[in-house]
Structure 1
Amino acid sequence: MGALVRRAVLPLAVTAALALTAQPAVAAPTNPAAGPDAPAATVPSDPPTESDRVIVKFRDTAAPEAAKEKVVDTAAQQALGDSKTPEVEEHVKQTTTQADVIKLDRELDESEQKDLVREIEANPAVEYAEADRLASVSWVPNDTYTQFQWSLLPQQGGVNFPAAWDMSRGNGQTIAVLDTGITPHGDLDSKVVPGRDFINDTNLSRDYDLRDANPRDEGDWSAPGECSAGARNSSWHGTHVAGLAAGVTHNGAGISGAAPGAKILPVRVLGKCTNGWVSDIADGISWSAGAPVAGQSANRNPAAVINLSLNYPGQCGTTMQNAINTAVSRKVPVVVAAGNSSVNAGGTAPANCANTIVVGASDTTGYTAGYSNTGAVVDILAPGGTAANPMLSTFNSGTTVPGAPTYGNLYGTSMATPLVSGTVALMKQRDPGLTPARIEQLLTSTASGPLGSLNLDPAAAVRAVTPRTTVQASYTAAGGIGSKWHATGGAAKWGNPVMNEANAANGGRYQEFVKNGRKTTIYWSRSTGAYVVENPTAIGSRFISAGRERGYGYPSSDERRVPGGAYQLFRNGSSLTKVLWTPATGPHAVKETGGIGGAWKRAGFERGWGWPVTDEYRSGGEVLQRFSNGVTAHWTPQRGVWTTR
């Protein structure tokens, strides 16, 4: 839990109802209307995703090249079909580990590469296969001002976002920015989803109305004596924070956001004097997470993460804690600023609220910035800038009411917080089901830096998330496979289809399903009908390593659990194979239509000779197989089957 906050500029406001006002976690701006005056250097473009090469490690590395190429040709035929089957063009080389690099006569897209690799690896002669891909330097956006965003670039004293972007861009995620609202900006507009104004006080709202669907920042300026002794210009704080979190990226202009693929949900909770009531902020948190709020229309774009670059002195109250708990119960992490008063953040809310991820600010050396609050509630440090090295982001030229869009510099824990929120969005693209507690644990366990395990490492945090298989709702299961899927439990048992039904060997069909990362394949052939192969089980793994339907044939039963183990039947033409498994013996196949398998059946199956402890193997001109009850079966064409013990 925890968050970073900035130094409070105004004293605590207390009303007759004892409601508190919150302030943004931002230190004094440094020439906020001034953007950089030089363009960034040219950066390389993304490497292509297509490839016409495949790397294959054969178990017999000395096999003839023609035989190896035949394996790839056959796999291509099975995986991609007659109309678009690539052919082997040349054997390029053998790597230092004796894997073969084979070039095809056309490039394959990523989906085709996966299909081809799967088919190649199904061949028992293959140890592994993978696409050979062109690489480039880590993805760096081509935005004009990216080179001035030191916080995103480790070589400039920031953290390694480019390496994180190679794994995730935050696609499909939404970051709620609860702040002063947002102003129109070319580096924001296309990323913004419908937000809301939650300010329920016309003395603060500046638009002279109450809550509505317009989260536009009306300006938080103040006249002399209104909020402080002197006049204050508008901070455009929410616009700046939104750009740091998820500004439009790789469009050849402006700045880059921490989560380039994420959307922005603007929720206006701070108004005049940059103040906002805790009761309004709490409702904004609940609404952002998709929870119902009385009198407000439903949020059709619930956030994946909530950013609170704000704070107020004192302890976390029940109202704020309940709102945070509501978000967390919906698996929406709440990332908050530690504050900028150079004190223990344990005395500042919402940094001291439970179930939060608290962010402190670091400078270009990775050490805690002088203004940042510290203490045990701070979970992680992220670049927040200093007066000498502030943070560049989207801004507005207006001194009071909104003017033209521009870029400006601010620094504070307010600026550090959206970098962490952006990192969370990158993590949740890889696994949208991550809980807030797990996200906090991954952020802190992957942190590093000069202060030990405290500095944000976005690349390490993203890498630590195991990607969850994406299920596309457009896939459907029909026909014999669909009937089998529905009859045996459907999505509740096997998950949803992750591909359309496709051709298998010898005129059959197959379709894959995934539930909680566990893959199941349902096969159908005219002679067997449809049956399930549970890929992760020992029997399923043995079926795959034996060549799938081209090895044992099509399943003619589902996997069946019996006392002591399990078995499954497979048919390949007139041949029937039973794969049996126990914890002690592992998975092994008995060829029931063969000589040894037939004798094993006549002897009483596993109740007679026992479970197979080997597959059939040759030795001294004989075919042999050993069984768990001490029986070794022998076979020759001349003698038939006999046993020894």
Structure 2
Amino acid sequence: MKTPFSRPCTMPAARYSSRRAGLADGSSRGDHDAAASWSSLTGVLRRSVLPIAVTAALAFSAQPAVAAPESGPDSPASTVPNDPPTESDRVIVKFHDPAAAETTKEKVVEEAAENALSEAKAPEVSEKVKTTAAQADVLELDRELDETEQKKLVAEIQADPAVEYAEADRLASTSWVPNDTYTAYQWTLWPQQGGVNFTQAWDLSRGNGQTIAVLDTGITSHGDLNSKVVPGRDFINDTALSRDGDLRDANPQDQGDWSAAGECSPAARNSSWHGTHVAGLAAGVTNNGNGIVGAAPGAKIQPVRVLGKCTNGWVSDIADAVAWSAGAPVAGQPANRTPATVINLSLNYPGECGTTMQNAINAAVNRRVPVVAAAGNSAVNAGGTAPANCANTIVVGASDNNGNTASYSNTGAVVDVLAPGGTSQYPMLSTVNAGTRGPAGATYGNMYGTSMATPLVSGTVALMKQRDPAITPARVEQILKSTASGRLGSLTLNPAAAVRAVAPTGQAQASYTVSGGIGTTWRATGGAAKWGNPVMNEANASNGGRYQEFVKNGRKVTIYWSSATGANVVENSTVIGKKFIAAGRERGYGFPSSGEARVNGGSYQMYRKGSSVTKTLWSARSGAHAVKETGGIGGAWKRAGLERGWGWPTTDEYTSNGEVRQQFSNGVTAHWTAKRGVWTTR
């Protein structure tokens, strides 16, 4: 059969079943399960992992998934308190004059309550509880207010000119930890074990009201998934792959991606149940006293089947599925009545991002649906792998249990964040199926790869979108990266910080200041009238630089500053701006050393990174391409008269037959080698 292009970004490992029986090493879990520990579990996992090729989408170990312990790992439920109450009968009010009479302060609060809640529902001040270290008064009311009432009262109190600020006083509790049986074995949830901080993120958001579309092999029936699933679709339009004997339909059930010997690989392969595993990591049923925990406990799952036999799928089908998942119309397909708010692509294929896939991603992003894509498992630069190299995607690499980039993970400037993806010794537990070919019983199993890292980021995005459903994908990406730690290509996801950085809808937006070199350039080049107002405070960029973002009518610009270049504007929505972003922003070309300049026939912008100078040029005929002016070819291009000599660059530099080459619009191809230097052909 013909070979489709897309494969999942997964490294399968051992199954871990949900009922009692023997494991891969022949031992029984029943005798010692109550004393199970992380180290003992990983010992079992190490013994049962198959040696596999990095890019292969192979099946689990050949033995059937048999019983797991009935009791499972010790549950933390008995030591975890319930969520703290949302009601409160206290407010904190800081008056401009802390020494004002108590009766005057009480009158301000009580009049605000009458205005905000009506006289019949207005609470009165019972007593002053204390004064805080900041000289704010903590006042107790005669009844509890729900969250809506608290917001109304606080807003009304703050409107009084005598008040500096006001807020509700709330009860806090320890970070929420679900009581699912295998929570303690999900090392990805615990920073001290190499995971990331989901528990504190869940104190702020659970992803309620969000839907994660999992474009994958489909889904199988599972107690840790079924109640979370909304209607999806099968988009496989090739009976050689579909296994269900038909084309696109409303049934996204995984039919199994198994293959006989010689069909897809020399050896026979069992079904992977890849989509079921990814769905569990993204939003599996949580806090039900059973199984595993999903990254977004409150989110729904929309299964969209795009990978079939041999775990392959056509890019044209996947692109249609991306658009449909976001609610965009797709010819011949019914409308998606429950559109996703996040799209997960734990798959990849080699080469450039084509127009078909890019248009589909753009359709999703234009509907404010972020598209989260796996970087791939080939230990190469992800810039050569799609859809990771598509614009407007959030690209996820994998980290190991020590928080370092996993050895198999693709890397490079297009990788936005790392999330735990696991290793052969420390894989990731999630929902799977016991069938070796077609679906059988529900169970749990382990895999590792960027496929597993991606749903953790998709889940984080769902948490963020509960806080602000209207947040743009670009803003989501910016927050994920600005709250992460590390350097480009290895910025480690911080779910709690990312969620915390999103102001909840209805909450007063922060007031941002503009100062220093960035402020000077902002004002000098047009200020709010041209660029809009700041949407964040000035923050650290790479290599000691700074940046700040501004938005006007949905159009975003970023002003960067460094000691070498001063402050300059990058227009994110222009072709040159998009080229800069795709190259890795300041970590790629360096900091902008000029604004975007319009010249006869096109435009350009300059960048500096240490002693290296890059110029990106755009014209309608040539598109946008970069010339390394301090390189051999770029230097010769300058000496030849820039675009007036060789013309506009029609490619970036590339390597062919051991030479570095670049093509220009006046028919010139420049060549460079270390021995010969630069020469041209026409």
Report the TM range for the smaller structure's normalisation: 0.5 to 0.7
Shift of 1:239: 0.6
* Residues 112-121 or 269-278, more deviating: 112-121
* Matched position secondary structure for 1:315: coil
**Range with greater deviation from structure 2 (296-305 or 349-358):** 349-358
- Which residue of structure 2 aligns with residue 406 of structure 1? 443
Q: Which residue of 2 aligns with 1:189?
A: 226
CA drift at 1:301: 1.8
Cα distance in 1, alignment partners of residues 358 and 116 from structure 2: 54
The alpha carbon displacement at 1:454 in A equals 1.0
Native 8 Å contact 1:198 1:269 kept in 2: yes
Q: Does 1:351 align with 2:388?
A: yes
Counterpart amino acid of residue 73 in structure 2? A
Aligned to 1:277: 314
Query: Which amino acid in structure 1 is aligned with residue 5 of structure 2?
Result: T
Mean alpha-carbon deviation: is it higher for 194-203 or for 57-66? 57-66
Give % identity. Answer: 76
Deviation of the 1:382 alpha carbon: 0.8
- Structure 2-normalised TM-score? 0.63
Matches within 5 A, 1:16-415: 20-33=4-17, 37-42=72-77, 43-415=80-452
Q: 1:355 to 1:105 in 2, by over 3 A?
A: closer
Once residues 452 and 376 of structure 1 are traced to their aligned partners in structure 2, the CA distance between those partners, rounded to angstroms, is 6
1:142-196, Cα deviation, whole Å (9 max, x unpaired):
3232222221222322111222223322222221111000011222112211110
Q: CA deviation at 1:33?
A: 3.9
Deviations 1:411-442 (A, max 9, x none): 11000011111122222233333333332222
Q: Which runs of 5+ in 2 are unaligned?
A: 19-67, 509-552, 555-682
**Aligned residue pairs: how many?**
457
Paired residue for 1:635?
none
Q: After the TM superposition, which residues 538-557 of structure 1 pair with which residues of structure 2 at under 5 Å, given as runs?
A: none
- Read off the aligned partner of 1:226 and give its amino acid letter: E
CA offset at residue 268 of structure 1? 0.3
Distance (Å, rounded) in 1 between the aligned partners of 2:127 and 2:354: 70
The match for 1:541 is none
**Contact 2:180-2:288 at 8 Å conserved across structures:** yes
Name the SS of the counterpart of 1:259 in structure 2: coil
Shift of 1:96: 2.1
Alpha carbon RMSD of aligned pairs, Å?
A: 2.5
CA 106–325 in structure 1, closer or farther in 2 if over 3 Å, else same: closer
TM-score, normalised on structure 1?
0.66
Determine the C-alpha separation between the residues in 1 that align with 2:314 and 2:109: 66
Tell me if the contact between 2:283 and 2:297 (Cα under 8 Å) persists in the aligned partners: yes
One-letter amino acid of the counterpart of residue 29, structure 1: A
Aligned equivalent of 2:481: 444
Instruction: Decide whether aligned partners of structure 1 residues 70 and 438 sit closer, same or farther in structure 2, where only a CA change above 3 A counts.
Output: closer
Aligned equivalents of 2:73, 2:388: Cα separation in 1: 38
Offset from partner CA, 1:490-542 (integer Å, 9 cap, x none): xxxxxxxxxxxxxxxxxxxxxxxxxx99xxxxxxxxxxxxxxxxxxxxxxxxx
Alignment deviations for residues 450-496 of structure 1 (CA, whole Å, 9 cap, x no partner): 8896111222222333333399xxxxxxxxxxxxxxxxxxxxxxxxx
Q: Deviations over 1:387-432 (max 9, x none)?
A: 1211111121222211222222111100001111112222223333
Match of 1:10 in 2: none
Relative contact order, higher structure (CA 8 A, sep 6+): 1
Judge conservation of contact 1:366–1:450 (CA < 8 Å) in 2. no
2: CA distance between counterparts of 1:328 and 1:68? 48
For the residues of structure 2 that align with 1:452 and 1:296, how far apart are their CA atoms?
38
Classify 1:28/1:251 alpha carbon distance in 2 versus 1 (closer, same or farther; 3 Å).
Answer: closer
Shift of the 56–269 alpha-carbon distance from structure 1 to 2, 3 Å rule, reads same
Within 5 Å, which residues of 2 pair with 1:500-515?
none
Q: Please list every run of 5 or more consecutive structure 1 residues that lacks an aligned counterpart in the other structure.
A: 1-12, 472-515, 518-645
Shift of 1:49: 0.8
Compute the displacement of 1:270 (Å).
0.8
The question of whether the paired residues in 2 share the 8 Å contact of 1:33 and 1:409 is answered with no
Deviation at residue 32 of structure 1 after TM alignment = 4.8
Structure 1 residue 198: Cα displacement: 0.8
CA distance in 2, matches of 1:65, 1:177: 57
Q: 1:176 to 1:106 in 2, by over 3 A?
A: same
Superposition pairs of residues 411-422 of structure 1, within 5 angstroms? 411-422=448-459
